[in-house]
Amino acid sequence: MATLQLKTREDMSSAGTRRLRRSGVLPMALIAKGGVTQKVQADRTEIRSLFSDITGVAIFEVKVDDAKATRVMMKDVQRDPVSRQVTHMTVMEITDEDVVKVFVPVVVSGTPVAVTKRMATLMVPMNQLEIKAKVKDLPDVIAVDAANMGQNDKIVVGDLKMGDKIEFLNSDATVLASTKQLRGMSSLDSGEAAEGEEVEGEATAEGGEEAEAEAAAAE
């Protein structure tokens, strides 16, 4: 597991915090076990490198000054309202047995047949779900397989099977993926039926022409 080097933040004034940001350092807060909060700081480049390798829930190790490394989870991120640049980050010390509430990415894979045939479109309205679980049971992502979806079909939170160690905090009716029939397109079932009817009609017409020809020859 990657480790982020932190330093104790000595100047906690507003002016000192602004100087840190201008010099490429991110002000941070570390919430230790027992609720004690320590003001720390980290190099932005190192943070960027760390998060480029993290998928799913942001869990990593930090080392403050020369202390022993400890495992943490990102608790809060503050951003500039205009530039959207991160201005402050809070991390929380955790253990495997801690029960936490986190947002986990939703990853939808597979393509329904109706979408492949360009008869429907696949919509994914949710990119993350909030769950409650022990740290050791947290999944990296919530995987949703859309390959077997029908036309005008949907997959909701209640359809997920992830065992009893994970509690979904979203409603069971929350839609994760849905297919919508494109305007002017018939359904797959009706399309197959129409093809069958057309073939049967052609066979009847051909039979009728043969019967008329035989009758004319007999006369």
Q: Give the tens place of pLDDT for each residue, 162-174.
A: 999 999 999 999 9
- Beta strand 154-156 with 175-181 is antiparallel
The answer to whether residue 189 scores a pLDDT higher than 80 is no
User: What's the sign of the alpha-carbon dihedral 45, 47, 50, 54?
Assistant: negative
d(CA 127, CA 172): 16
pLDDT range class, residue 86, cuts 50, 70, 90: very high
Reported as a single tens digit per residue, the pLDDT across 144-166 is 999 999 989 999 999 999 999 99
Strands 3-8 and 59-64: parallel
The pLDDT mean for the chain works out to 85
Residue with tokens 């933040």: 9
Domain ranges of the chain: 3-94, 100-181
For domain 3-94, the CATH superfamily is Ribosomal Protein L25; Chain P (2.40.240.10)
pLDDT at 131 over 50: yes
CATH superfamily of 100-181: Ribosomal protein L25, C-terminal domain (2.170.120.20)
Q: What predicted TM-score, i.e. pTM, was given to this entire model?
A: 0.74
27 pairs with which residues across the strands? 41
Q: Is residue 46 within 8 Å of 6, Cβ to Cβ?
A: no
